Amino acid sequence: MTAAPAPDRGAPRERAAGALLAARARTRALTDCVDEHELTAQHSPLMSPLVWDLAHIGNQEELWLLRAVGGQEALRPELDSVYDAFEHPRAVRPSLPLLPPAEAHRYVADVRDRVLDVLGRTPVDGGGPLVEAGFAFGMIAQHEQQHDETMLITHQLRRGPAVLTAAEPPPAAPDAAGLPAEVLVEGGPFTMGTSTEPWALDNERPAHPRFVPSFFIDTLPVSNAAYLRFVEDGGYDEPRWWHPAGWEQVRRHGLAAPLFWRREGTTWVRRRFGVTEEVPPVEPVLHVSWYEAAAWAAWAGRRLPTEAEWEKAARHDPASGRSRRYPWGDADPTPEHANLGQRHLRPAAVGAYARGASPLGVRQLIGDVWEWTASDFLPYPGFRAFPYREYSEVFFGGAHKVLRGGSFAVDPVACRGTFRNWDLPVRRQIFSGFRTARDAEPR
């Protein structure tokens, strides 16, 4: 039982610079495509105005890379409170004294110019845990990409014509129709988490042994067609499938299908980034809450996998006994492995990405849709908050459920076999889907 080796992807400084520049290019693409009114509007009380995310990105970069790493004086200390995500809930952020779009762009550009200078003269080996292997720069690149995903969610929630475009994802692989519905993951120990991934965040650490009894897991994510059978079987009208809090949500909000779906005559359609289209039956279901995922699983006579089961299915290699970085091995993702990085604006068909399969043949564990698990968001044994409590520790407990695997909106820099996402079980606007599991032996 061994962990994945530390990755070797070139010099940390060059990797950090590339990650920062890639994140900024995506941020500009998400903000340059709309006018000033759209940038300052709040498209949903669930989300911040796009211009808040933009300046928050710059403020966090200033706090960590200019001040904490570079030792510089604050450029705009008055902004710290305005862009403190814990001080101001999203619903009230439009009332704050936000930087206008042009000034926000100038601010983030000024910060970035100074950061690249700091990166050029900061030792990234032997300089302490904050900068070892370029960690702080990688952390900020991941932070920006996470806000880019948040801004993409805002784009999905906004009303109006489409402003984003992308190539279509690949179809299912030729062998997809012949895949088994589920695979057996044999019981036993495996190494969960990481102690060697240089840019892994605190909640992914440390690597530790975990025993998981035998279980079966879906080979593919649950598709729209499979979810529609639950809808048409009256799944949203039958309380026995639902967690009590989920049933309360169904009744209170009149839920009858995934978010953005609606029926037109006998056809189900959805709204996707300003375009109305028929719900594609072959895609993984998207925009479902944890409660909806758990209800579908109960209706199907199955359950959601635990977080440990999901990670074992994604990382454990039965032949070697070690945990890989990704289902396919230790190499970084390529477009042949997974649907990541907003390269497409939708999930690929279930059964795509044969090269991204795990040793047991489980596909699309990385990319396409975040996958809800049964588990609460809790620390690993030996967890230590680093470099600040507010990234993970304040969210630990039973209020948040863990999602794994990333989505088409997640950049590879913020997606690993060990990466942990979490959200409230009511959330539907996120790019979330699921796959199911079942016990293979009595527990």
Q: 63-84: string of b/e by CB count within 10 Å (b at 16+)? A: bbbbbebbeeeeebeebeebbe
Full DSSP string of 4-22: PPPP--S-HHHHHHHHHHH
* pLDDT above 50 (res 400): yes
**Terminal CA-CA length for the chain:** 23
Starting at the edge strand that comes first in sequence, how are the strands of the sheet with 261-264 ordered? Answer: 261-264, 267-272, 275-278
Q: What is the pLDDT of residues 196-220, one digit of tens each?
A: 999 999 999 999 999 999 999 999 9
- Over residues 248-261, mean pLDDT: 98
Q: Is the pLDDT at 1 greater than 90, yes or no?
A: no
Q: How far is it, in rounded angstroms, from Cα 242 to Cα 160?
A: 34
How do residues 141-157 score in pLDDT, each as one tens digit?
A: 999 999 999 999 999 99
DSSP result, 189-258: EEEES-SS-TT--GGG-S-EEEEE--EEEESSPPBHHHHHHHHHTTGGG-GGGS-HHHHHHHHHHT--SS
Kindly state the percentage of the chain with pLDDT values over 70. 97
Confidence check: pLDDT of 343 > 80: yes
pLDDT, residue 4, reads: 55
What structural domains and CATH numbers belong to the chain? 12-157 (1.20.120), 169-443 (3.90.1580.10)
For 317-373, the DSSP string reads: -TTT-BB-SBTTBSSPP-TTT-B-TTSSSSPPPTT--GGG--TT----SSBSSEEEE
Contact 223, 397 (CB under 8 A): no
Confidence of residue 162 (pLDDT cuts 50, 70, 90): very high
pLDDT in tens, 267-296: 999 999 999 999 999 999 999 999 999 999
According to DSSP, residue 290 is labeled H
Residues facing residue 376 across a β-bridge: 401
The structure's pTM equals 0.95
CA distance 201 to 206: 10
Look at residue 426 and tell me whether its pLDDT is greater than 90. yes
The confidence score (pLDDT) of residue 126 equals 83
Q: Contact, 192 vs 229, CB < 8 A?
A: no
Give 190's strand partners.
210
- Average pLDDT over the chain, rounded to whole? 96
Tell me which of 35-44, 117-126, 191-200, 297-306 is least confident.
117-126
